[in-house]
């Protein structure tokens, strides 16, 4: 019980029949107001600046990933290109261009992207330059069959993986432009003979680079899958309690109901739980106190119920629990413990009386027409508990008052 007393001390302190707020660290109060000051409209929206910075950071991360691929790609392609242009009789100037493109261009392209206000757009332009250079080297190699085919295929693969169909199309156009410009200077020559050395020199690029691209794509896919799972988990949670929200809990209830209907066997029960006198406590002590009670109850449900019990916040101060494979009687015993722990955890938070819970429990029966009907049984039991004096757990009687939810 020490944990609950500590959390209670951080919420309210009671003295002389009144409640004094001490600390509410997890609650942020947002106040909206209008101002007649003339400079208010000129203020920059900080959220827009944060979004811009976030996009720029993502662009720089993209440029860093491309740097590794480009550096390795240029180094591997340099082997094939060097062998081919040597057989084509390249000049010293040609070898100089080859060295610049192979070893200096990756770092230069990365510097351009990192210094740009839009690193992604800058990196796309760099990729088009890669394609233009590749087209030029194909012509400089006299369109030597194997090195040219490997170089072009690697560039197409890189463009497709980085920018999809659009960058693939633009990359093909850039290759044509680079090839035409190079051919204008050097002339267009096609060699049909393929020396064995050119074939061997093309193997590193052919074997290593696609493997690296595949591994990089795999890592990105894993990160995306992890982000999607985290986003799905957040969308399924209630903001205040971190339990399942109503939509997600109803999805679990519907799934359980369908399984029971298909199997026509198995036991399950559901419970609706309500904080007694919650509105009065809210009105007397404020919404921060009410939120504290809701968080305490959610913590009690999370710690006292089993890992297979599906808890959620149904709305307001009402909570819901799905006990799959458990009868209403077993669920009642678990809820009795929840009520006792909650009452002890909230002792002293209400100056008038102890804070208690009421709950309604309903068993699954094959005569139920829908999950909503099942829920209606639990809701009716909760209403009965409230009407009977609160601070109690009522199990729904399927023979009383449920003509609209059962199959006869």
Please tell me the distance from the alpha carbon of residue 215 to that of residue 209, in angstroms, as a whole number: 10
Give the residue among 235, 259, 344 at the shortest CA–CA distance from 296: 344
β-bridge partners, 319:
273, 313
Please tell me the distance from the alpha carbon of residue 291 to that of residue 370, in angstroms, as a whole number: 32
Q: What are 8's two structure tokens? A: 């209670």
More confident position, 352 or 68 = 68
Give the residue among 387, 337, 375, 383 at the shortest CA–CA distance from 359: 383
Please give the DSSP secondary-structure letter assigned to residue 166: H
The per-residue pLDDT for 48 is 52
How many C-beta atoms surround the C-beta of residue 354 within 10 A? 14
Residue 317 CA from chain centroid, whole number: 28
Please give the DSSP secondary-structure letter assigned to residue 41: G
Domains of the chain: 61-231 (no CATH), 246-395 (3.30.70.270)
Using the structure block, give the residue that is written with the tokens 């504290």: 292
Handedness of CA 140, 141, 145, 146 (dihedral sign): negative
Which residues of 119-177 form beta strands (DSSP E)?
Answer: none
Q: What are 156's two structure tokens? A: 């197409």
Please tell me the distance from the alpha carbon of residue 381 to that of residue 393, in angstroms, as a whole number: 8
| pLDDT tens readout for residues 332-389 | 999 999 999 999 888 866 555 678 999 999 999 888 899 999 999 999 999 999 999 9
| pLDDT tens readout for residues 190-245 | 888 888 998 899 999 999 988 888 888 888 888 888 888 877 777 788 888 889 99
**What is this structure's pTM?**
0.55
Does residue 370 contact residue 358 with C-beta atoms inside 8 Å? no
Please tell me the distance from the alpha carbon of residue 328 to that of residue 322, in angstroms, as a whole number: 10
């Amino acid at each position: 019980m020490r944990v609950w007393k500590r959390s209670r001390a951080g919420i309210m302190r009671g003295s002389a029949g009144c409640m004094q707020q001490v600390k509410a660290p997890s609650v942020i109060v947002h106040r909206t107001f209008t101002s007649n000051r003339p400079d208010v409209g000129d203020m920059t929206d900080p959220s827009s600046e944060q979004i811009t910075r976030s996009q720029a950071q993502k662009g720089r991360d993209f440029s860093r990933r491309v740097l590794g691929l480009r550096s390795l790609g240029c180094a591997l392609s340099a082997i094939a290109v060097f062998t081919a242009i040597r057989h084509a009789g390249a000049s010293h100037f040609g070898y100089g261009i080859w060295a610049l493109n192979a070893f200096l261009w990756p770092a230069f392209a990365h510097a351009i992207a990192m210094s740009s206000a839009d690193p992604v757009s800058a990196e796309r332009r760099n990729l088009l330059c890669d394609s233009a250079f590749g087209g030029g080297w194909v012509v400089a190699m006299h369109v030597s069959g194997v090195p040219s085919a490997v170089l072009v295929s690697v560039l197409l693969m890189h463009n497709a993986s980085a920018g999809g169909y659009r960058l693939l199309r633009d990359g093909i156009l850039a290759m044509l432009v680079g090839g035409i410009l190079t051919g204008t200077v050097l002339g267009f020559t096609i060699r049909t003979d393929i020396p064995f050395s050119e074939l061997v020199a093309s193997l590193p690029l052919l074997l290593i680079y696609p493997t690296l691209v595949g591994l990089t794509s795999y890592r990105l896919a894993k990160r995306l899958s992890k982000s999607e799972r985290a986003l799905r988990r957040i969308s399924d949670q209630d903001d205040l309690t971190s339990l399942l929200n109503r939509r997600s809990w109803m999805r679990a209830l519907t799934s359980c109901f369908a399984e029971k209907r298909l199997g026509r066997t198995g036991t399950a029960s559901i419970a609706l739980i309500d904080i007694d006198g919650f509105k009065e406590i809210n009105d007397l002590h404020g919404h921060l106190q009410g939120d504290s009670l809701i968080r305490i109850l959610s913590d009690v449900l999370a710690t006292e119920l089993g890992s297979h019990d599906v808890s959620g916040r149904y709305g307001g101060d009402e909570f819901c629990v799905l006990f799959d494979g458990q009868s209403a009687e077993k669920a009642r015993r678990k809820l009795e413990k929840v009520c006792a722990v909650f009452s002890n955890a909230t002792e002293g938070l209400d100056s008038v009386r102890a804070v208690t819970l009421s709950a309604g429990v309903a068993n699954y029966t094959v005569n139920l027409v829908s999950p909503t009907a099942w829920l209606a049984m639990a809701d009716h039991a909760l209403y009965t508990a409230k009407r009977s004096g609160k601070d109690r757990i009522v199990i729904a009687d399927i023979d009383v008052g449920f003509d609209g939810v059962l199959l006869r």
